[in-house]
Amino acid sequence: MTTPTFPDPTLSLADPAGEIERLARRIEQAEAEVAALRAERDRALNAIATLRNETFFDLARSAERNDGESPLHTARIGIYTSLIATELGYPEDQCALLESAAQLHDIGKIGIHSSILSKPGPLTTAEWKMMREHPRIGASIIGDSEVPLLRLAAEIAMTHHEHFNGIGYPLGLAGEAIPLAGRIVGLADFFDALTHDRSYRKALPVDQVLSMISERRGEQFDPRVVDAFMRIFEQIEEVREQLVEQEAFGEAAEWDGPWWMLY
């Protein structure tokens, strides 16, 4: 039986300190290379996420054009939603998220034919049934995302036409079963839609729209959201008048960028 032999450690580690230093440099170099790869990966992922979000916002603006809305409709809804949420006590970061997500509320209208969206007269029963599908279409377009912005946007798209008394659409939710974000956007959208011209009617006077909102308190709209809206109405009206003025002077008529770049 042969006795195994082992290398003499003194030969391979004639300079232990130097060998350790060389290994440390190699480890440091490898860590730097991994960090660079991670940074490159993160840049690529951020670029993809930005492109994805821009695509959703472009679709939402296209849907609004098909519906005869001004290009600032989505921006106004975002601002109104953020102001109401602030009054209701939302944290600042959540208000910012809501402002962005709310702008995708009607993205599903991209799936509704323009002949229905821009029809100058009343819709038929069949056309109205088709129109009522746009919340489902919007939530489907955004999908079941893990990204907070898109998850909230899908929730808003699906629920902003639900009524507090349960007779809204498409799910027939009622009361607290309707996500608060959907309840806020539902009111903001109602106010903005009625105070601006549409293909089938002229804008209504602001005072009349406020009366309609008050009459629908507890029925179509969450009383808490209505009360918050009324408390800050001067802020909301100031924003609305500023953006209307921009459009009147033609500075925003074809604008596709963020609302704040108009100033």
pLDDT for res 38: 81
**Residue 152 structure tokens:** 């909230």
Non-local CB neighbours of 80 within 8 Å, separated by 6+ positions: 188, 191, 192, 236, 239
Any domain includes 4: no
Nearest to 77 by CA among 218, 199, 229: 229
The reply to whether 9 falls in a domain is: no
Question: Is residue 39 in a domain?
Answer: yes
Residue 138 falls inside a structural domain:
yes
- Is the peptide bond prior to 179 cis by the omega test (within 30 degrees of 0)? no
pLDDT lower than 70: segments of the chain: 1-15, 45-59, 62-63, 65-71, 199-200, 247-263
- Total count of domains within the chain: 1
DSSP string, 81-121: HHHHHHHTT--HHHHHHHHHHHTTTTGGGGGS-HHHHT-SS
- 146 within some domain: yes
Question: Which pLDDT does position 253 carry in this prediction?
Answer: 44
Number of Cβ within a 10 Å radius of residue 72? 23
Angle between helical axes of 233-248 and 73-87 (0-180°, round to 10): 160
State residue 189's pLDDT score: 95
Burial (0-12, 13-18, 19+ Cβ within 10 Å), 83: buried
Please report the pLDDT score of residue 64 as a whole number: 72
Give me the pLDDT at residue 199, please: 66
**pLDDT per position as a tens digit, 92-115:** 999 999 999 999 999 898 888 888
For residue 122, give Cα distances in angstroms to 112, 127, 160, 170.
16, 9, 22, 20
For residue 38, the enclosing domain spans: 21-252
Domain containing 106 — which CATH number?
1.10.3210.10
DSSP 3: P
Whether residue 1 is contained in a domain is answered as no
Would residue 205 count as lying in a domain?
yes
| Residue 162 to residue 157: CA distance in whole angstroms | 10
Looking at residue 187, what is its pLDDT? Answer: 98
Cα(first)–Cα(last) distance of the chain, in Å?
Answer: 91
pLDDT tens-digit profile of 54-89? 666 666 776 676 665 666 788 899 999 999 999 999
> For residue 136, what pLDDT is reported?
96
